[in-house]
């Protein structure tokens, strides 16, 4: 690693523009952020993927390696990614910093406390919860219905025992007893708010609009009604500044914000993406899950809200994952006789390519090569792309770092140069909520129709009354299938999506449509990763990967 | 403020010895901490006080001002203090960074997230709780009795609704239902462990000994039994490094660790105090509450465990507080006719002076002057000190900074030079737990005797069996009185202290003796300080004081 001051210098940031967190991490100061706003913006490249499978696609790895590749080509490029949650780190190791030679460093810090953003968000979330319960205890002036408090507490941990709890027990001096529950921090609306806010002022405005409960007249009660948006903003004043780190190849990376990709929009912060685009000519950024969720939300929620539009979209696919979409179980992926499955599975990729095209955006396919892929399989996929007239490139960034992404980078540069970019959202905000959901189901998922539960229908009437109908939709759907049934891989047809409930995230500025069960507080496995973690006497982390 | 690198340079620390957190905060690296261990130690000056009153004594302010005064005298001095909890900051503003011109900076940062130590401790505490509940859920191999889990979750907030909760509700997939509760983070045994650990290795060893539950055979189950001491140490690897900041007068200060002063020992970390003593010739440090709790625990727990002995002890008193101890209510403190009350109240000071003397330590009285004090009142107190043959000095550090502490600093230097120092603990570790408690009650509190509840007596038999009898005692008693009755101000006599229960803190290495009710999770007031907090568009904190 190079000192982060040196990395910063290469993108025109002086030491006084940074707030250092050790030698290899820094936040960018408010002064620098304000100064940069007048600069011209570079081009955004959005990295998304086919529907994820247990075989692994390597979207983050491709994002990192692509940034490195652009720099190897002499282009001024930056990476803008989400920051990971500590919960999964202690549970089943995932690793959200890329992999192999395409990684963001310092890996240990980023996967542990990093610069404290998650902790600040947890604190703001839970301070709000304490203030709500204190309001009940101190006379309940706002007439909050204690059965209709929707604001939950959070922990940045996997802790299933906290999913459903009763708080306020122990008698009249210990609070008002009521049902409550904890989510993991990345599921907090405050995370989504922080990631969509353009600056401190916008952050405070959005925080004030968060609905925390309903009163005895069933009207929404907001953070603004409680009068604590100032305190919450104060708790977030540093968390809102983007974090500068570097890749193994010294490409500058902003790792900032990490909202859930189901009940939230699953992209890193607007402030980080905007800042990166002011500092570099090319910004490589990613969105959670597959293109049906991550890219759709990036384009309908983040792009629309912040005016950030991609110059091109990369759809990452692997031979292994496509074979799984074609029906091959994971333990048989190494078998040769799966040419037919690959062809069937490609239908999943095809749908996502067409979705991106329907937004009017240029698309490039990244074939993230695994060592087990045969030349014939790769050839099959490359030929298919050629027939479909979609630019494609093989990436080998895990093994080779930026060098393994050069082909993709070149393909992107020529595509951005030559292809047309006529971005247009698939729905208008003025469409009704039902219409907006239907558009997503039919145009993005390729489904037949959408059904709304009786509860959902009742909510729509209320939302209309509260003036929430013109917000974009945030779909909470399984990431494994285009449909709402995780077992339907490949390219399912003729399916109907059922919306069982809506969840208003008015601070973030979207309406969540819940399909199926959504897990917002993971549990730990029988043998948690924590059992293997340690630190040596010099302070070096052990067992993190 | 000067850049923290400059402050560090003055005490012989190079930039590579620091891990910067912005421009004005830094942690000291493991390499520097290891290198310093071989250096000779400077002298420790412990600042304590009479029993605290609502009138205010200003112990932290005197600690800061005294450090500044030593530096004005050309002595190489450092300050070692506790770091504050966020909970009270959001509730009723206290401010744990001193006051007036005797303050540690940057005040906003120290009172908010600082360098993330509190968050790391909360995370380690709650990760342990999640791992315990997961152990229950995944088959309970250790046969933990779910009714006898003593490890509680924490939040660094004032949140009364979390004092008593039920977790694990919602059916067999959501965990095992059981009673639980949340403490404020500073009450976590992990905070006490971190503050008594000498290094990372000692930290891990202490963590492994923490008792989290009892099994169905009523035997203790420890962190070591769960096999997660490595993971917890990893989560604390940065939190264990002391934080360097500065006073308004640029005196270097280590602000690190802040355990409760009732159920824990109430002193900043051993690592910080030790490190300061290697970097400076004089270290000014404080202990929580009055001398009956803070100083007693410093000397019996921290000194004994770490081999850190004070060269002298300062007892801070104010005319106002002494008058309250003499029976004057707070709203009548400005009245003139309270000479008699002052004389009565001085008995409280006298007891604390004699306690320090009984430890064989030199003592100096700091009379922390308020603007409302009359010359005659000050004269009365000074003459009393002269008669008692106790060195005393007036301090005016709130108004005048270090200059207001020069007299005290000079008095301390001459006392350290001339007075005898024959430190000896008042009890031996080999004494029985009952004897140890009795010694504290009789010699430190000046009480008649101690009574043990039936439960406490039963616990003592168990503790003997578990091999815990040779640990020091940590008394949890009201800070307002020498007795266990907060209304008995001044110098009560003939009182009996009742120990209702013991709490083993085996990782920290002490047995807590609980007298009366101990609040380990504060609540918010009707008008929380949070309502006045805000941040301007440039990111400046508003309403923090």
- Measure B71 CA to nearest chain A CA, in Å: 29
Q: Which of B17, B22, B141, B530 to mutate to test the interface with A (most CBs of A within 10 A)?
A: B530
- Residue B179's DSSP bridge partners are B166
Chain A contact for B141 (CB, 8 A cutoff)? no
Whole-complex ipTM = 0.96
The pLDDT tens digits for B376-430 are 999 999 999 999 999 999 999 999 999 999 999 999 999 999 999 999 999 999 9
Nearest beta carbon to residue A234 from set B173, B526, B541: B541
Q: Which two structure tokens, joined as six digits, stand for B43?
A: 């002298």
- Chain A residues near residue B537 by CB distance under 8 angstroms: 199-201
- Chain B residues near residue A164 by CB distance under 8 angstroms: 168-170, 174
Which class for B483: exposed (0-12), middle (13-18), buried (19 or more C-beta within 10 A)?
buried
- B209 closest CA partner among B219, B197, B222, B225: B222
DSSP B361-395: --EEEEEE--TT--HHHHHHHHHHHHHHT--EEEE
**Owner of token pair 């949340």:** B182
pLDDT of residue A94: 57
- Measure B30 CA to nearest chain A CA, in Å: 7
What phi and psi values does residue A243 have, to the nearest 5 degrees? Answer: -100, 125
Q: Which residue of B has its CA nearest to A141?
A: B526
What phi and psi values does residue B517 have, to the nearest 5 degrees? Answer: -80, 135
pLDDT of residue B93: 65
pLDDT of residue B336: 65
pLDDT of residue A211: 98
- Measure A140 CA to nearest chain B CA, in Å: 10
- Chain B residues near residue A93 by CB distance under 8 angstroms: none
Determine the Cα–Cα distance for residues B41 and B63; give it in Å rounded to an integer: 19
Chain B contact for A4 (CB, 8 A cutoff)? no
pLDDT at A338 over 90: no
Cβ contact B528–A131 (<8 Å): yes
pLDDT of residue A99: 87
- Chain A residues near residue B160 by CB distance under 8 angstroms: 133-134, 137, 168, 173-175
Q: Burial code of A8-29, b = ≥16 C-beta within 10 A, e = fewer?
A: bebbebeeebbbbbbbbbbbbb
Q: How confident is the model at residue A516 (pLDDT cuts 50, 70, 90)?
A: confident
pLDDT at B61 over 90: yes
Determine the Cα–Cα distance for residues B501 and A193; give it in Å rounded to an integer: 46
Q: Which two structure tokens, joined as six digits, stand for B204?
A: 């891990």
Chain B contact for A175 (CB, 8 A cutoff)? yes
The pLDDT tens digits for A379-426 are 999 999 999 999 999 999 999 999 999 999 999 999 999 999 999 999
Q: How confident is the model at residue A93 (pLDDT cuts 50, 70, 90)?
A: low
Q: What's the average model confidence in pLDDT over A151-161?
A: 97
Task: Report the range of poorest mean pLDDT among A67-81, B158-172, B271-285, B325-339.
Answer: B325-339
Q: What's the average model confidence in pLDDT over B9-37?
A: 95
- B458 closest CA partner among B501, B505, B516: B501
Q: Which of B8, B18, B231 to mutate to test the interface with A (most CBs of A within 10 A)?
A: B231
Residues A56 and A321: beta-carbon distance below 8 Å? yes
- B314 closest CA partner among B528, B74, B520, B60: B60
Q: How confident is the model at residue B360 (pLDDT cuts 50, 70, 90)?
A: very high
DSSP B424-487: --SS-TTS-HHHHHHHIIIIIS--SEEEE-HHHHHHHHHHHHHT-TTSPEEEE--SSSSSS-TT
Tell me the CA distances in angstroms from B185 to B112, B119, B191, B386, B466, one per residue in order. 14, 8, 7, 43, 27
Chain A contact for B526 (CB, 8 A cutoff)? yes
Determine the Cα–Cα distance for residues B286 and B66; give it in Å rounded to an integer: 11
Q: What's the average model confidence in pLDDT over B450-471?
A: 98
The pLDDT tens digits for A436-454 are 999 999 999 999 999 999 9
Helix then strand then coil, % of chain A, to nearest 5: 40, 20, 40
Residues A139 and B527: beta-carbon distance below 8 Å? no
CB pairs under 8 A between A and B: 228
Q: What's the average model confidence in pLDDT over A55-76?
A: 95
pLDDT of residue B339: 82
Q: Where do the H-state alpha helices sit in B251-405? A: 270-279, 296-297, 304-306, 319-325, 339-358, 375-388, 397-400
Residues B529 and B543: beta-carbon distance below 8 Å? yes
pLDDT at A95 over 80: no
Q: Which long-range contacts link B221-229 to residues 24+ away (Cβ below 8 Å)?
A: B221/B142, B221/B144, B222/B506, B223/B128, B223/B507, B225/B142, B226/B128, B226/B131, B226/B132, B226/B135, B226/B142, B227/A531, B228/A530, B228/A531, B228/B127, B228/B128, B228/B131, B229/B204, B229/B205
Cβ within 8 Å of A, B 243-282: none
Q: How confident is the model at residue A90 (pLDDT cuts 50, 70, 90)?
A: confident
B73 vs B338, which has greater pLDDT? B73
- Measure B269 CA to nearest chain A CA, in Å: 18
Read off the DSSP letter of residue B416. H
Cβ contact A157–B130 (<8 Å): yes
Q: What's the average model confidence in pLDDT over A508-527?
A: 95
Check A289, A298, A359, A452 and give the catalytic one.
A289
Cβ contact B537–A235 (<8 Å): no
At A27, which helix (H) or strand (E)? strand A26-28
Q: What's the average model confidence in pLDDT over B419-444?
A: 97
Determine the Cα–Cα distance for residues B169 and B521; give it in Å rounded to an integer: 23
Integer-rounded Cα Rg, in Å, for chain A is: 23
Chain B contact for A14 (CB, 8 A cutoff)? no
Mean pLDDT for chain A overall? 96
Is B522 annotated in a binding site? The answer is no
Determine the Cα–Cα distance for residues A151 and A182; give it in Å rounded to an integer: 9
Q: What's the average model confidence in pLDDT over A131-141?
A: 98
- B416 closest CA partner among B277, B297, B281, B318: B281
pLDDT at B444 over 60: yes
At A277, which helix (H) or strand (E)? helix A270-279
Cβ contact A234–B161 (<8 Å): no
pLDDT at A130 over 60: yes
pLDDT of residue B94: 56
Determine the Cα–Cα distance for residues A375 and A363; give it in Å rounded to an integer: 24
- Measure B307 CA to nearest chain A CA, in Å: 21
């Amino acid at each position: 690693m190079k000192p982060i001051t040196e990395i910063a210098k290469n993108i025109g940031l002086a030491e006084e523009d940074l707030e250092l967190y050790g030698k290899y991490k820094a936040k960018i100061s408010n002064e620098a952020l304000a100064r940069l706003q007048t600069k011209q913006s570079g081009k955004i490249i959005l990295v998304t993927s086919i529907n994820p499978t247990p075989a692994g696609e390597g979207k983050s790895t491709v994002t990192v390696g692509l940034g490195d590749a652009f720099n190897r080509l002499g282009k001024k490029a930056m990476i803008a990614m989400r920051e990971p949650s500590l919960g999964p780190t202690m549970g089943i190791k995932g690793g959200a910093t890329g992999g192999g030679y395409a990684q963001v460093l310092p890996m240990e810090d980023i996967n542990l406390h990093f610069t404290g953003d998650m902790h600040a968000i947890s604190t703001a979330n839970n301070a709000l919860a304490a203030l709500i319960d204190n309001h009940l205890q101190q006379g309940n002036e706002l007439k909050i219905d204690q059965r209709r408090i929707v604001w939950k507490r959070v922990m940045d941990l996997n802790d299933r025992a906290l999913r459903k709890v009763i708080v306020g027990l122990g008698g009249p001096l210990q609070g008002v007893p009521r049902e409550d529950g904890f989510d993991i921090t990345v599921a907090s609306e405050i995370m989504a708010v922080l990631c969509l806010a353009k600056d401190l002022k916008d952050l405070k405005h959005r925080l004030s609009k968060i609905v925390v409960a309903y009163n005895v007249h069933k009207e929404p009660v907001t953070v603004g009604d409680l009068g604590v948006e100032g305190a919450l903003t104060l708790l977030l004043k540093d968390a809102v500044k983007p974090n500068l780190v570097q890749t193994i190849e010294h490409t500058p990376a902003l790792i900032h914000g990490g909202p859930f990709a189901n009940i939230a929009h699953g992209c890193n912060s607007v402030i980080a993406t905007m800042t990166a685009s002011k500092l570099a000519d090319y910004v490589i950024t990613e969105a959670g899950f597959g293109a049906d969720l991550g890219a759709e939300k990036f384009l309908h929620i983040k792009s629309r809200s912040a005016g950030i539009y991609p110059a091109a979209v990369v759809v990452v696919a692997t031979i292994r994952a496509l074979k799984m979409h074609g029906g091959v179980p994971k333990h048989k992926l190494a078998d040769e006789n799966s040419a037919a499955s690959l062809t069937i599975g490609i239908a999943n990729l095809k749908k996502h390519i067409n979705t991106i095209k329907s937004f009017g955006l240029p698309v490039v396919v990244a074939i993230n090569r695994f060592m087990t892929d045969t030349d014939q399989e790769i050839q099959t996929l490359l030929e298919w792309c050629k027939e479909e007239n979609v630019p494609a490139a093989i990436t080998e960034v895990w093994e080779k770092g930026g060098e393994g992404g050069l082909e993709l980078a070149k393909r992107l540069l020529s595509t951005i140069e030559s292809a047309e970019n006529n971005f247009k959202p698939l729905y208008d905000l003025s469409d009704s909520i039902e219409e907006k959901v239907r558009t997503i189901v039919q145009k993005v998922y390729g489904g037949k129709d959408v059904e709304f539960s009786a509860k959902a229908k009742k909510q729509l009437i209320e939302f209309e009354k509260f003036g929430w109908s013109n917000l974009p939709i945030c779909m909470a759907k399984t990431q494994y299938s285009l449909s709402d049934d995780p077992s339907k891989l490949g390219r399912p047809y003729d399916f109907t999506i059922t919306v069982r409930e809506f969840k208003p995230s008015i601070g973030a500025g979207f309406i969540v449509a819940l399909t199926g069960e959504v897990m917002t507080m993971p549990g730990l496995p029988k043998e948690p990763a924590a059992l293997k973690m340690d630190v040596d006497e010099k302070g070096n982390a052990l067992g993190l990967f």
